Amino acid sequence: MRLTQGTFSFLPDLTDEQIRAQVQYALDQNWALGIEFTDDPHPRNTYWEMWGAPMFDLRDAAGVMQELQACRAANPGHYIRINAFDATRSFETVRLSFIVQRPAVEPGFRLQRTEDRGRMIRYTLHPYATDKPAGSRYPVQE
Amino acid sequence: MNDTVSKVVPGPGRSRYTPGVIPYAKMGYWDADYVPKDTDILALFRITPQEGVDPIEAAAAVAGESSTATWTVVWTDRLTACDSYRGRAYRVEKVPGSPDQYFAYVAYDLALFEPGSIANLTASIIGNVFGFKPLKALRLEDMRLPVAYVKTFQGPATGIVVERERLDKFGRPLLGATVKPKLGLSGKNYGRVVFEALKGGLDFVKDDENINSQPFMHWRDRFLYTMEAVNSAAAHTGEVKGHYLNVTAATMEDMYERADFARDLGSCIVMIDLVIGYTAIQSMAKWARANDMILHLHRAGHSTYTRQKSHGISFRVISKWMRLAGVDHIHAGTVVGKLEGDPATVAGFYDVLREPSSPANPARGLFFEQDWAGLRKVMPVASGGIHAGQMHQLLTYLGEDVVLQFGGGTIGHPMGIQAGATANRVALEAMVLARNEGRDIWNEGPEILAAAAKHCQPLRAALDTWKDVTYQYASTDTVDVVATATAS
């Protein structure tokens, strides 16, 4: 399967040039960029690991791209996303969030159904990858 | 400024209370010198007086009939501080290009209204006055809701920001579709459509306004199969998915029962129709806030009173009331689709729903400044006759905080429902990507879509199937500057 969280997951994986353009767009809106990574793709896994604090006061996308390369080198076989935070009053939230690295193989999710009272079914989403301990969930190609 | 109609009418003195019938303007409902207070509720009416009826008297009558007046003088007025309770018409202008119509501005003291009650507000403002004989027609065009009054309402149960955070979807419009055919599918077949559309790439699927609990599909069956579809699609994609379960029913008890069941099944959103009424809407908004649910409102019925310019209520006023009442989604027009929607007028509705405050902007039909005092924002929904080939126009007209609903444009796709959903999602993401890269999507839109279709056969098929579909008709509900043809 292909995890389709994030703003651009239905497009072919973005090239670094395309990523840089999106980062520059976010910077031009005065948004702060943050890089996050995880190996737990559950859609309710809200808090991915932060690769440092969001980068405030940045003007040039190059700084973000440099951090992205470092994050990729340290976290192969992980999902990495770039978030853009808008501090404008009445927003004060993420305005753009897109995946910039994903594991080579994505085994997907098991849908656990538990029959309940009447015809009610309780549903649980279980990422196959999380059967293994954190850090060893996705094969890393050397 | 427009031609202001002015006339000095003597203020009410002792003779004001002599039994009999005297003109409304002389009863104190017209005051050309009145300066509205910051706490006043202001209303702008479009009035069409009967022949021979003076426009100022007509405006005063509107102010009177929507506040304290009755047709004759009553001495019991003198037991009250009646001067302060009178609605006051304070300005009358000719409507440009419509010689028999006038804009009448009326101010109401805040004490006239119960806090937090749309029912009470509307019982005055659109009560008896709309059937008043001396007027041929009457339309409520806009209202200014003072901060002091806004703060008495809960507002949207969830709001745009929190909805996006719950759904984990940022940076692009959301995508939806309404299950078709509207009527006749069994619960099991219905869930199939939901599953296909969500798995293919939509964020939401939606019940139609008249899907409630009919012989072919009772509501519990629909809810159970639909939630199977929602959860299964989430497992296939790793995304949060939702289906607007319509809980509209005959009584509040029925609606609460259905909404509770939707919540217990794990749905993130429920839906109601405008026809359930203002009080029921406010009740459901309160329920949604208490149960962490997004509340979708379908505006079924609104065109009976919003579409014609001479009589009724503008949808911008309905939008304001619904933001106060507390819905999270409301259908507010597409501009380019099959339903009524002049671009400037629709932009005005979107401002009302999404902006923290907005200045008066006559070019968008907004007559008053409006401060929402921190009330959450409503997500507009664009639905009706739109397709992937219009993505650049939709994004330009409607922006990012909107749900784009492609019903026929998903389910009618020649390669199937999943393909239809994928075509829409790819078209959308490609257009947002290009816009952010600084491309001129208005002019380069078709090229951007064609390029995206190279890696997406379903998008190619969608563009080929619907390339010539447009709805080029003049809008009836336009701003009063110039009538615009609806763009394709």
Q: Is B298 a catalytic residue?
A: yes
Which of A75-79, B150-154, B477-481 comes out lowest in average pLDDT? B477-481
Contact flag A10-B356 (C-beta cutoff 8 Å): no
Q: With a cut of 70, which residues of chain A have pLDDT below it?
A: 142
Q: Which of B168, B224, B436 sits opposite A25 (nearest CB)?
A: B436
Average pLDDT over residues B405-430: 95
B228 has a chain A CB within 8 A of its CB: yes
What residues of chain A lie within 8 A of the CB of B164, using their CB? 93-94
pLDDT higher than threshold 90 for residue B71: no
Distance, in Å, from the CA atom of B488 to the CA atom of B483, rounded to the nearest integer, reads: 16
In order of B409, B422, B454, the CA distances from B447 in angstroms are 20, 18, 11
Q: Residue B488: is its pLDDT beyond 50?
A: no
Query: Looking at the partner chain, which of A10, A93, A122 has a beta carbon nearest the beta carbon of B426?
Result: A10
Query: CA A40, CA A129: separation in Å to the nearest integer?
Result: 7
Q: What is the pLDDT of residue B12?
A: 55
pLDDT of residue B486: 46
Residues of A in contact with B455 (CB under 8 A): 11-12
Q: Which residues contact B481 (CB under 8 A, 6 or more apart)?
A: B96, B344, B362, B363
Q: Is the CB of residue B453 less than 8 Å from the CB of residue B447?
A: no
B190 to chain A, minimum CA–CA distance in Å?
Answer: 17
- Residue B30: how many CB atoms within 10 A of its CB? 29
Interval B153-176: pLDDT, tens: 999 999 999 999 999 999 999 999
Task: Determine, for residues A43 and B171 on separate chains, whether the beta-carbon distance falls below 8 Å.
Answer: no
Chain B residue nearest residue A96, CA to CA: B171
The verdict on B455 touching A (C-beta cutoff 8 Å) is yes
User: Per-residue pLDDT tens for B373-391?
Assistant: 999 999 999 988 889 999 9
Whether residue B487 has pLDDT greater than 50: no
Q: How many residues does chain A have?
A: 142
Q: Is B26 a catalytic residue?
A: no
Instruction: Give how far B19 is from chain A: nearest CA, Å.
Output: 54
Q: Tell me, yes or no, if B377 comes closer than 8 A to chain A by beta carbon.
A: yes
Rounded Cα gap, residues B328 and A45, in angstroms: 24
Mean pLDDT in chain B?
93
Verify cis geometry, omega within 30 degrees of 0, for the bond prior to B181. Answer: yes
In this structure, of A36-40, A111-115, B304-308, B431-435, the range with the lowest mean pLDDT score is B304-308
Residue A18 has what pLDDT? 98
Contact list, A123 vs chain B (CB under 8 Å): 227, 231, 266
DSSP B154-219: ---SSHHHHHHHHHT--SS-EEE-B-SSSS---HHHHHHHHHHHHHHT-SEEE--TT-SSBTTB-H
Among left, alpha and beta (phi > 0; psi -120 to 50; other), residue B373 is: left
Kindly report which listed range (A106-110, B7-11, B129-133, B210-214) carries the lowest average pLDDT score: B7-11
Size of the A and B interface in Cβ pairs below 8 Å = 107
B452 to chain A, any CB pair closer than 8 A? The answer is yes
Contacts of A31 in chain B (CB under 8 A): none
